[in-house]
Amino acid sequence: MERVLVLVRHGQSEWNLKNLFTGWRDPDLTEKGVEEARDAGRRLKAAGLAFDIAFTSALSRAQRTLSLLLEEQGQTGLETIRDAALNERDYGDLSGLNKDDARAKWGEEQVHVWRRSYDVPPPGGESLKDTGARVWPYYIHRVLPRVMQGGGVVVAAHGNSLRAMVMALDGLSGEEIVSREIATGVPIVYRLNADTSVAEKTVLEG
């Protein structure tokens, strides 16, 4: 019984590059993002990991990352479930804005609070806690059962939806998770015990 769960944040997007708040908007990957996704697949293959099912969000940057990763794995036909529960945090009125412009409009301190607090949402958007409120039930009811069947499961999603999963897996507090960065295109490999606790965690950095 392997019980392997791999989390991968999508490769760099066009809006990451432009320093824009992205949220539920749907930009594509940059050339660098494409290479990050392929590199993630190569690292997973080199580690001897293969998957029985994949989960991703309703946004194309995560879906494309998954597709490129699986191509490198030689698993292009893998069963894949797409769900908005795994979408990035909704940045509301900040979506599409340059981060510097947002600071000019609302002030450095206020934008920092929106970005780095656990439970303060931006106007019209979600806090990290709100994001967790849709990610955690999905993880518990859809993703975790497939891991516990003994297979390999990969989740290609976003910085904040994956933060919510890492928070649950690593037993972190709200204060601890907001300072935890999740790099683009770097697989995080969990092996779970029979009681769903984490037996081992490995970050496959280049």
Per-residue pLDDT of 91-149, as tens digits, reads 999 999 999 999 999 999 999 999 989 999 999 999 999 999 999 999 999 999 999 99
The domains found in the chain, sorted by start residue, are: 4-17+29-89+131-203 (3.40.50.1240)
State the average pLDDT over residues 158-162.
Answer: 96
Per-residue pLDDT of 10-58, as tens digits, reads 999 999 999 999 999 999 999 999 999 999 999 999 999 999 999 999 9
User: What whole-number distance in Å separates Cα of residue 99 and Cα of residue 13?
Assistant: 15
User: What's the whole-model pTM score?
Assistant: 0.96
| Residue 10 appears among annotated catalytic residues | yes
Residue 164 is encoded by which pair of tokens? 């919510």
Residue 135 is encoded by which pair of tokens? 């990610």
Helices (H), 107-197: 108-116, 128-138, 144-148, 159-170, 174-177
Residue 169 confidence (pLDDT) above 80: yes
Out of 10, 36, 126, 158, the active site residue is 10
**Residue whose pair of structure tokens reads 């998957």 in the numeric block:** 51
| Residue 88 appears among annotated catalytic residues | yes
Share of the chain above pLDDT 70, in %: 100
Out of 72, 88, 126, 158, the active site residue is 88
User: What whole-number distance in Å separates Cα of residue 46 and Cα of residue 191?
Assistant: 17
Residue 151 is encoded by which pair of tokens? 């297979």
